[in-house]
Structure 1
Amino acid sequence: MLNPPRSLPVRGRTVPAATGTLLVLEARLEGHDTFLSGTLDVDGHDIPVRITTLDDSTTLQPTQPLPDSFPEHWRATLHLRHGQRPRDIPDDLRAAARTAGRDLDALDDAELRYALTFLGEATTLDIRTDRLTAIVTGLPTLEGDPE
C-alpha cells in the first residue's frame, strides 16, 4: 500500500532532448516508484510531468509545453499523487535470510529497492522461491555466524 500524496521541494535544470525539454533534478528522488507522474509547481505554473528515476538521476518530462519564460535553473514543488513506495521487507524474505544466517540490513537503499522489485515481479510461487534463494545467497553472513 502506498503512503498519502507528497509535495517535495526540488531544484533542477532544463536540458534539451529529442523528445522535448527535460527537467533534470539536482538530487535523485529516493523512496519513490521508478516511473510515475506528478505536477511540478514552478512560479505559479502547474506543469504535469512524467517522472523517471534511474540509478543516479531523476528526470521530469513535461506532458504539456513549458511556459516561454521557463528558467534554465529552477526551484519548484513536485506534487506526487502516488506518495512513497513501501520499503517493507516481506515476511518470506526476512524468514529466509534469518534461516540462512544472512544480513538483510547490509543492503543499501538501491540494493534493497532492486531486491524488492526483483522479488515482487515474480509471477509464480516457484519463481518467487528461486528469487528468494538468489537474493538470500547474495547477502553477507551475519556477524558472528560461521558460514
Structure 2
Amino acid sequence: MLNAPRSLPVRGHTVPAATGPFLVLESRLEGHDTFLTGSLDLDGHDIPVRITTLDDSTTLQPTQPLPDGLPVNWTATLHMRHGQRPRDIPDDLRSAAQATGRDLDALDDAELRYALTFLGEATTPAIRTDRLAAIVTGLPALQGDPE
C-alpha cells in the first residue's frame, strides 16, 4: 500500500565517518524513495535516522548521538513513515514505447528505477518530451518487430 508506514527487518554494520557514524545496511532498500527519514529500533533504542539509498547501498545517518555500547554488526527493525515508491509506468512513456515498437518490459528493476527517476525529474513539458524520446530510443525493439 502506498504511503503506509512500513517496518522492515534489516541487518548492517556501523562505519565511522567525519559527520558521525553511518549505519550501512547489508542489502540495498528496494522500491522506496531515495531519501527518507525513519527510525531504527536497535538493541531497544529508537534511533531517528536519515535514510539514503544510492545505486548499490543504503546508509542510515543518525540524527542524534548513538547510544554507547551498540554492536558494530547488528540486526534491527527500520520503521519508515513512507510507503513504497510507485513503480507504475506513466501513460506517456507506455504510449511512446508502443508507438515505436519498443519493449519496456526489457528493463530490469534498476533500469526502470533510473528511467522513471530521469523522466520524473523533468521540469518542463519540453524536457519531459526529450527525456521520453531518450528513454524510448534506448529500449530494444519488441520481439518480432524489425528494427
Partner of 2:107: 107
Residue equivalent to 2:28: 28
Give the conservation status (yes or no) of the 8 Å contact 1:31–1:85. Answer: yes
**In structure 1, distance between residues paired with 2:126 and 2:53:** 30
**Contact 2:5–2:83 (Cα < 8 Å) also in 1:** yes
Give the whole-Å Cα distance in 2 for the aligned partners of 1:122 and 1:55.
20
| 1:124 paired to 2:124 | yes
- In structure 1, what is the Cα distance between the partners aligned to 2:54 and 2:10? 17
- Tell me the CA shift for residue 26 of structure 1: 0.3
Q: Indicate the SS of the match to 2:99.
A: helix
The Cα of 1:136 is off from its aligned counterpart by 0.2
Show the counterpart of 1:135: 135
What are the residue-to-residue correspondences of 1:27-106 with 2, within 5 Å? Answer: 27-106=27-106
Q: Is the 8 A contact 2:23 2:60 kept in 1?
A: yes
Q: Which runs of 5+ in 1 are unaligned?
A: none
Distance in 1 between the 2:56 and 2:123 partners? 28
Instruction: Give me the whole-angstrom Cα distance separating, in 2, the residues matched to 1:142 and 1:47.
Output: 48
State the superposition RMSD in angstroms.
1.1
Contact 2:43-2:70 within 8 A present in 1 as well: no
On the 8 A contact 2:33/2:85 being kept in 1, the answer is yes
Q: With structure 1 as the length reference, what TM-score do the two structures score? A: 0.97
Query: What percent of counterpart residues are identical?
Result: 84
TM-score (norm 2): 0.97
1:17 aligns with 2:23: no
Displaced runs of 4 or more, over 3 A:
none
Shift of 1:2: 3.7
Q: Contact conserved, 1:3 with 1:86, CA < 8 A, in 2? A: no
**Aligned partners of 1:77, 1:30: CA distance in 2, in Å?**
16
